[in-house]
C-alpha cells in the first residue's frame, strides 16, 4: 500500500473510478472527526453477518442513538468495576499455560478476550479457555467471518449477491457450498441464543440482570429510539464478541512476539513490573499499571504494530461535495484511508518497522499521538477501547511477570506477517513454550 504513494504521485491516489485513497493526517481528521459529514460507505458496511449491527449503520443519527445505549457499559468507570472479572479470567488463562507443551498463544489470547466479553455481555461465559488446544469451533468460524469484508473492499459489486445468497439459501445448501460460512452461521446462532435468553428474562420483568443490552431491550421515548429488533440484537451480540476479541488478541500476540524477540526490552519491562509485583504470581490493579511508563510504552508500540483496522475505511463524500488536498470531490465519491500508513510513517516514527517502546518516552510525543489511531477516531471510535486497554494491561503485565517465554522449535517469524483482511490476522500462529519464573 505504501508503494502507491511516491514523490511523483503524491498523497492522494485514485484507486477506482469512484474511489480516492489519501495519505494525509489533516485530511484524515477532516473525514473522521467528531461531527464529520462523511458517512460510512455502504460499499463495505454491508457484510450480511453483521447486518443490523452498530458497525453497519451508516446514518449518523441512528448510529448515535445505538451507540449511546451501549456506551455506558464501556466507560472507564464501568470497566474499572469489571477488573475482578478480568483478573479472574487472566488467572485461568495463565494457569492453563502450565498444562500445555507447545502453545498456540495467539488463539489463547482470543479465547481469554472471548470469555471476558461473553461473561460481561450475557452473564454466561462461552468457556473458550476450557478448550484443550484453545481452538473451539467458534474460533474457526470467527476467522471465516473476517474473510468477507475484504471482498467488499476489492469487489463491492459482489456484496449484494453475497448478501442475497447468505439470507436466502437454506442451511444445508450453505454447508455444502461453504463450510466456513456455515460455521459462521452456527456461531451466529450461539450469539442469538445468548442474547435472546436475556431478552426473554427482561420481558418477564427480570430487569436487574447484568447485561450490556439492557437499554436496547426497551424504547427510549425521550431520545426517540425504538427497542432493537431480534435481528439487530443478534448482530450486535456477534459484533461485540468478534470486535472484543480481535484488537486485544492481535495486540497481545504482537506484544508477546516482540518481547520474546527482544530480550533486552523484555528485561526492562520485567524490572519495572517487579516494582509493583514482588512475586511472579502476584495480582495487580489496572490503576497501578497505568503508572508504569515503560509498560504503557510497550502497549502503545504493540498497538501501533497492530493497527486496529489496517485496511481502507471507506466514507462517502456528502451532498455538496468536499475538497481534500486541494481536489474537489463530487457527492458520492468514496474516500478511504489506512491506519497502517499513519502508523508506519517514517517521518513520524523513525525506523517504523522496528519495535521501539522508547519512542513513546520522549519528552514530547504529541506528534506521535497525532498519528496514533489504533481504535480509529471521532464519533465512530471503537466503543470498547477502555475494555481493551484494561485487558491488555492486566494480561501482558501478569504474563511477563509470571513466565519465561520462548518460541517453539517449529515457529517461524513469517507467521507474524498479516493477511489483508478487514482486521489484521497473522499468516500463522504464535507458538511458544513457557516456564514459571522461580524467585
Tally of CB atoms within 10 A around 5: 17
Q: How far apart are CA 285 and CA 157, in angstroms?
A: 49
How far from each other are the two terminal CA atoms of the chain, in whole angstroms?
47
Phi-psi domain of 320 (left: phi exceeds 0; alpha: psi -120 through 50; beta: other): left
User: DSSP E strands: which ranges in 122-233?
Assistant: none
Phi (first) and psi of residue 21, to 5 degrees: -115, 130
Among 171, 195, 193, which residue's Cα sits nearest to residue 184?
171
Distance CA(389)–CA(296), nearest Å, equals 10
Q: How far is CA 379 from the centre of its chain?
A: 17
Q: Which residues are CB-contacts of 224 (< 8 A; sequence separation ≥ 6)?
A: 65
Asked whether 117 and 241 are in contact (CB, 8 A), the reply is yes
Residue 297 phi, psi dihedral angles, 5° rounding:
-65, -40
The answer to whether 382 is a known ligand-binding residue is yes
Residue environment code for 84-113, b if the CB has 16+ CB neighbours within 10 A, otherwise e = eebbebbebbbebbeebeebbbbbbbbbbb
| Residues 275, 395 contacting (CB under 8 angstroms) | no
Burial letters for 29-65: b for 16+ Cβ neighbours within 10 Å, e otherwise?
A: ebbbeeebebbbbbbbbbbbbbbbbbbbbeebeebbb
Annotated binding site for heme: 382
Annotated binding site: 382
Amino acid at each position: 500500500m505504501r508503494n502507491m504513494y511516491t514523490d511523483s504521485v503524491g498523497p492522494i491516489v485514485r484507486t477506482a473510478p469512484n474511489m480516492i485513497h489519501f495519505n494525509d493526517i489533516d485530511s484524515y481528521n477532516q473525514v473522521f472527526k467528531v461531527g464529520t459529514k462523511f458517512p460510512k460507505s455502504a460499499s463495505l458496511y454491508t457484510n450480511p453477518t453483521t447486518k443490523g449491527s452498530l458497525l453497519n449503520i451508516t446514518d449518523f443519527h441512528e448510529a448515535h442513538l445505538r451507540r449511546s445505549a451501549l456506551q455506558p457499559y464501556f466507560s472507564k468507570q464501568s470497566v474499572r468495576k469489571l477488573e475482578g472479572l478480568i483478573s479472574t479470567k487472566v488467572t485461568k488463562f495463565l494457569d492453563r499455560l502450565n498444562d500445555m507443551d507447545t502453545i498456540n498463544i495467539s488463539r489463547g489470547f482470543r479465547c481469554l478476550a472471548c470469555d471476558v466479553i461473553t461473561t460481561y455481555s450475557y452473564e454466561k461465559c462461552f468457556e473458550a479457555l476450557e478448550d484443550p488446544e484453545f481452538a473451539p469451533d467458534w474460533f474457526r468460524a470467527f476467522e471465516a467471518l473476517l474473510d468477507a469484508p475484504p471482498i467488499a473492499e476489492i469487489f463491492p459489486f459482489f456484496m449484494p449477491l453475497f448478501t442475497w445468497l447468505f439470507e436466502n439459501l437454506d442451511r444445508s445448501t450453505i454447508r455444502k457450498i461453504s463450510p466456513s460460512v456455515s460455521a459462521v452461521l452456527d456461531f451466529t446462532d450461539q450469539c442469538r441464543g445468548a442474547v435472546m435468553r436475556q431478552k426473554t428474562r427482561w420481558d418477564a420483568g427480570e430487569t436487574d440482570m447484568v447485561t450490556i443490552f439492557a437499554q436496547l431491550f426497551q424504547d427510549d421515548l425521550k431520545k426517540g429510539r425504538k427497542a432493537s429488533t431480534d435481528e439487530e440484537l443478534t448482530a450486535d451480540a456477534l459484533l461485540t464478541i468478534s470486535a472484543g476479541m480481535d484488537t486485544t488478541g492481535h495486540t497481545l500476540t504482537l506484544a508477546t512476539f516482540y518481547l520474546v524477540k527482544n530480550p533486552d526490552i523484555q528485561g526492562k519491562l520485567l524490572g519495572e513490573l517487579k516494582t509493583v509485583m514482588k512475586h511472579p504470581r502476584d495480582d495487580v490493579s489496572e490503576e497501578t499499571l497505568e503508572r508504569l511508563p515503560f509498560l504503557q510504552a510497550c502497549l502503545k508500540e504493540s498497538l501501533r504494530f497492530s493497527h486496529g483496522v489496517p485496511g481502507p475505511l471507506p466514507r462517502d463524500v456528502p451532498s455538496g461535495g468536499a475538497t481534500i488536498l486541494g481536489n474537489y470531490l463530487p457527492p458520492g465519491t468514496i474516500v478511504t484511508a489506512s491506519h497502517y500508513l499513519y502508523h508506519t510513517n517514517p517521518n513520524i516514527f523513525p525506523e517504523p518497522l522496528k519495535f521501539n517502546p522508547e519512542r513513546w518516552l520522549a519528552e514530547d510525543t504529541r506528534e506521535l499521538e497525532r498519528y496514533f489511531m489504533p481504535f480509529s477516531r471521532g464519533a465512530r471510535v471503537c466503543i470498547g477501547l477502555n475494555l481493551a486497554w484494561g485487558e491488555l494491561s492486566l494480561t501482558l503485565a501478569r504474563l511477563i511477570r509470571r513466565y519465561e517465554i520462548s518460541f517453539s522449535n517449529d515457529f517461524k517469524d513469517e507467521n507474524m506477517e498479516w493477511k489483508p483482511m478487514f482486521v489484521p490476522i497473522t499468516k500463522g500462529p504464535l507458538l511458544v513454550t513457557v516456564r514459571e519464573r522461580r524467585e
